[in-house]
Structure 1
Amino acid sequence: MAGTKPVSASQVIMTELVLPSHTNAIGSIFGGTIMAWIDIAAAIAAQRHSGREVVTASIDRLDFVAPVYKGWVVNMKASVNFTSRTSMEVGVRVDAENPKTGETFHTASAYTTFVALGSNGKPIEIPGLELETDTDRRRFEAGKKRREMRLAQKKS
C-alpha cells in the first residue's frame, strides 16, 4: 500500500465509564482494565491508518500517575505517531474525570506498536504519515527515536 495518510485521519477519542466490575477492593480501577482500553484505542487508530487488521507488537512502559475510581469517566486519545514499512507507533494518553467535581487529570500514557496484516496473516506495507502540524512532526521524530531504541534492545 503506497501513499500517505494524515495523522488526523486516524485519531481516536474513546470514553469509558468505570463500573464496579472494573474496580478492585478499594474501589479504584484495575490497571489491567486501563491497559486493555489503551490497547483497544490504539488498535482502532492503527486500523484506521493502515486500512488493515492489526496486531499488538509491544506496549512500552506504562506508568499509572493517579488512581481512577468507580463512577468516574476515563477518556483516551490515541494517535499514530510514527510509521515504518509494516508497523506503526500509536501514542495513547489517558485522562480521568471526576463527574461530581468536573476535575480532569492525566492518569497514564503509553506508546504501543502495531503491525498491519495482509489477507495471508503476514505483515503488509502501510501508508506513511502526512505530518500536518508541528505536534505531528515532533511526535514523529520522538517515535522514530523510540523505534531505534526498541530495535537496539532487541539486538542485545
Structure 2
Amino acid sequence: MEVFEILKTLREKNNLTQEEMANRVNITRQAVSRWETGETQPNPEMLKVLSREFNISINTLLGSPRQLYCQCCGMPLTEDSMISREPDQTFNEDYCKWCYVDGEFIYKQKDSLIDFLLQHMPNPQNQSDDERRKLFDSMLSQLKHWKA
C-alpha cells in the first residue's frame, strides 16, 4: 500500500471524517485531503504525532518499506504489536517488546540472552550447546545492541 492509501484507510478505520482527523492531530482538513490524494505526505514530526495518536508504527504508516528486526535478539518484527515501547508509549522500532520494556533492556548481558535461546530455540541438527552458543554469539554480535 502507498502512504496515501494507508492514511485514508487509517482515517476510515477510525470512523473519522477528514475534518475530525485534522482536529485530532491539529492540522487543516486540506492537509489531510492532500495526504489522501498523494499530493503531499506528513513530515517526520507529523508521522510521530500520527503514530502516537493512532497507535501505529511509523514503519507501518510508511507502508512497511523496511523489514524491522529486534536489534537485541534478531527476531523479525512483523507486526506493530511486537514492537517495543518507550515509557511515553511511543514505538521504539529497534527492539521487540520482549527485549526492551518501558525503556529498560531485559537482557543486561549477551550471555543471559544466549542462555535463554539455548533453552527455548529448537535444535533440529542436534548441535552441542557449545556450538549453538558460538552461533548465537556470532549472530547477536552483528546487532546494534551488542556491537562492541
Larger Rg: 2
Normalized per residue, the structure richer in strand is 1
> TM-score band, normalised by the shorter chain?
under 0.3
Normalized per residue, the structure richer in helix is 2
Q: TM-score, normalised by structure 2?
A: 0.25
Q: TM-score, normalised by structure 1?
A: 0.25
Which structure ranks higher in relative contact order (CA pairs < 8 Å, sequence separation ≥ 6)?
A: 1
